[in-house]
Amino acid sequence: MDLIILFNTFFGFLTFIAWASTGAMLYLYFSKKTFSKLITDQFLNFAISVAVFSSIGSIVYSEVVGFIPCRFCWYQRYLMYPIAIALIISLFKRPFFRVGYISIIGVAISAYHIYLQNGGGGGGTCAVDVPCDMKYVDIFGFISIPVMAGTGFLTIFVALLYYDFARKELVE
């Protein structure tokens, strides 16, 4: 099996899982449903795993597959890597998880990158030989690398939002 197809399939599958998880967490948040502390803590663990897998995925695509990251891919990496590290640290210092809320900035960057990839903004060059509208990955005609990154950022944000909400509800 071709390496690119393998990674695209794997990361595309994780993207669908993240969408379903984000939808479920939004439902829990808006319906004000909470669980025990043991289950609530798993939402932080989920955010950590999404951040770590997103970071690993970006490294795999550039270092193993050989895709050259554009400027906006780098901006997304500049946010995701520190978020992953901060969330790992939050395992030991719980209040540190709030650093992960900057993932909403990553959602905005990803949304703009998706806009550029789909013909908005007139294209242009993000890096040498890497145009902003180039799609290295195109799964089902709509899942590209910025879509995967934006999904990761959104999933992290929603998981932390629900985790913070549920933790406060347990205290009251």
Residue 126's pLDDT band (boundaries 50, 70, 90)? low
Mean pLDDT of the chain: 86
Residue 156's pLDDT band (boundaries 50, 70, 90)? very high
Residue 141, classed as helix, strand or coil, is coil
Residue pLDDT, tens place only, 93-106: 878 788 888 999 99
Please tell me the pTM assigned to this model: 0.89
Rounded to an integer, what distance in angstroms lies between the CA atom of residue 69 and that of residue 75? 10
Q: Write 119-126 long-range contacts (CB < 8 A, 24+).
A: 126/70, 126/71, 126/72, 126/73
Task: List CB contacts of 91: < 8 A, sequence separation 6 or more.
Answer: 44, 48
Residue 70's pLDDT band (boundaries 50, 70, 90)? confident
Report the largest interatomic distance among the alpha carbons of the chain, rounded to a whole angstrom.
56
Of the listed ranges 26-35, 65-74, 134-143, the one predicted with least confidence: 134-143
Residue 50's pLDDT band (boundaries 50, 70, 90)? very high
Cα-only R_g, the chain: 17
